[in-house]
Homo-oligomer: A and B are copies of this chain.
Amino acid sequence: MSKTLALFSAQHLPQVEEHMFSFVKHYADEATLQTAMSYSLEAGGKRIRPLLVLATLDLLQVPITAAHYQVAGALEMIHTYSLIHDDLPAMDNDDLRRGKPTNHKVFGEGMAILAGDALLTESFHMVAQVALPAEVKVVILEQLALQSGSAGMIGGQVGDIEAENQQINLEHLASIHRRKTGALIKFAIDSAAIMAQANQAVSQHLHHYAEQFGIAFQIKDDILDVIGDEAVIGKKVGSDETLNKSTYTSLLGLDDAAKKLSEHIESGLASLEAITVLMPAADTSLLVELINKLR
């Protein structure tokens, strides 16, 4: 019987959150720092990255343990720090995030910078402590740093800033987003494949799914920035146009962007199909549902 994402999320996400919150509570001894870190972690969001970690483990028929929740939580902590720093006045200068005032609006810029730094640091700290063999932890830590660092997420963010007020082509745009949003999504799925010791063929199909998911995710984000409802998505719409950013919608138009979105979703689904040929007992329904939510 195939699982539903809602049930799976309800079963597992509270434990991911519990691990993040208790780690921060344990190590952040300054009250203001702890409050600032927790504020953004608690702001929620869809927790897509942890869900991708856990849904991939589920597909690979691995019983989910505390170590998996912690790796999933560490990834969400990296994502959260990146949002805090991106929202700063010196970057995107956003006042609202997930329908709540951004971190610096509540705690001030200095504390928001430090809360972001601390979430980034504690993310590595948490992974270094999980109950997994040292060899596996080192590979995961290396991947986490690679995908969130200057060749990954941060590089993409810099590329994004550099491209403001510039006409860039589709290839350049894809290169920015492959790093800015794609890298952490790749980590989500690759880290699960590493922890599950998935065979190479399956890992490659999963990796392809992750790439398609990453691009689809970004196109959807660009579309929502044009036609989304501020109340539903919890942030300002039209900000790409305000910042004069090239996006999939500005380069392709809304219709072709939607078509491209569809194509990447289909390509991701095809990878999951290929996995079921290799692993007939695998239940792909969670990853199917996750990517279909981007439609």
Question: Which A residues fall within an 8 A CB radius of B?
Answer: 24, 27-30, 32-34, 37, 81, 85, 88, 90-91, 108-111, 113-114, 116-118, 120-122, 124-125, 128-129, 133-135, 137-138, 141-142, 144-146, 148-151, 154-155, 157-159, 161-162
Contacts and interface: CB of A to CB of B under 8 A. Distances in A.
A150 B24 contact: yes
Nearest to A156: B30
B142 A125 contact: yes
A123 to B, nearest CB: 8
Contact of A125 (B90, B137, B146): B146
Contacts of A129: 142
Tell me which of A117, A118, A148 has the highest count of chain B C-beta atoms within 10 A of its own C-beta. A117
A175 to B, nearest CB: 9
Given A85-B113, A113-B91, A134-B137, A27 B125 contact: no
A150 B37 contact: yes
Contacts of A30: 150, 155, 158-159, 162
A233 B104 CA distance: 33
Contacts of A29: 150-151, 155
Given A90-B109, A109-B90, A135-B134, A28 B150 contact: yes
A145 B121 contact: yes
A161 B108 CA distance: 12
B121 A154 contact: yes
A33 B113 contact: no
Contacts of A134: 133-135, 137-138
15 contacts: A27-B150, A28-B150, A28-B155, A29-B151, A30-B162, A32-B162, A85-B113, A85-B117, A88-B110, A111-B161, A114-B154, A114-B161, A124-B141, A128-B141, A128-B142
B33 A158 contact: yes
